[in-house]
Structure 1
Amino acid sequence: MTTTTDPTKPPVQPYRRVLDDLLNRISAGEFVVGDRLPSTRELAEQHNVAPMTVRNALAELQKQGRAAPTHGVGWFLTEPPEKEPSLHERVTALEAEVAELRARLDHDSTVSQ
């Protein structure tokens, strides 16, 4: 694999190159949920890096919830976790719920009078 360097950008860590390549391949549909990823050795050879560098990239994929290891078998692509709602989305939902509760209280108080 050849890499071009852009003097205006900071160098990319080797594990990040491996990780980015895997993420690109996943996005392109080369791997789908349940697929076994290439072995650490295969990835190390493809990217001309040490196996530990590949393990760091795979650990990051695991941290993101995108891959999981099976001892003695390999790494498998997993379903990424659902995206957590942003703070803004959560506040908006709570405001709507509070408004609904207020409307109920107002309705209940006018009915009971």
Structure 2
Amino acid sequence: MTNRQAARQPYLRVLDDLQGKISSGELSPGDLLPSTRALSERHGVAVMTVRRAYTELQKLGKAEPTHGVGWFVTEPPAPKPGLEERVRTLEVEVRELRERLVEHDSSVS
């Protein structure tokens, strides 16, 4: 462990380890994460430190707990559309609204 790693808060080291394993595919959606006790022993940290790392992982949408069973890797969230895609969608919606307005105006006249 480098001095920089040692200076990081312990829960961040655990979180980085878990995120690395998820990103690399070593842990896949649906996989059971290691128990808090096992992970605390592996990293030499308190169980509460591992719980905090798991909570942060949950906030990131990468893990969910199942009561009485443990923590599981979740499906990654769908990527948000980029600006260009959102603009194209809005352009289509505006075009459709204009067409409806023209149809409505012609039916009222």
Pair in the same fold by TM > 0.5: yes
Structure 2 length normalisation: TM-score?
0.75
Q: Which amino acid aligns with 1:4?
A: T
How many correspondences in the alignment? 105
Q: Deviations over 1:26-70 (max 9, x none)?
A: 111111111111110111111111111100010111122221112
With over 3 angstroms needed to count, the CA separation of the structure-2 counterparts of 1:73 and 1:108, relative to structure 1, is: closer
Mapped partners of 2:84, 2:60: distance in 1: 22
1:67 is aligned to 63
With over 3 angstroms needed to count, the CA separation of the structure-2 counterparts of 1:30 and 1:85, relative to structure 1, is: same
Higher share of residues assigned helix: 2
1:4 is the counterpart of 2:2: yes
Mapped partners of 2:71, 2:10: distance in 1: 19
Question: Which has the larger displacement, 38-47 or 89-98?
Answer: 89-98
Aligned match of 1:29 in 3, 25, 28? 25
Structure 1 length normalisation: TM-score?
0.73
Question: Which has the larger displacement, 12-21 or 92-101?
Answer: 92-101
Mapped partners of 1:82, 1:18: distance in 2: 25
Q: Report sequence identity in percent.
A: 56
Mapped partners of 1:71, 1:34: distance in 2: 15
What's the Cα RMSD here?
2.9
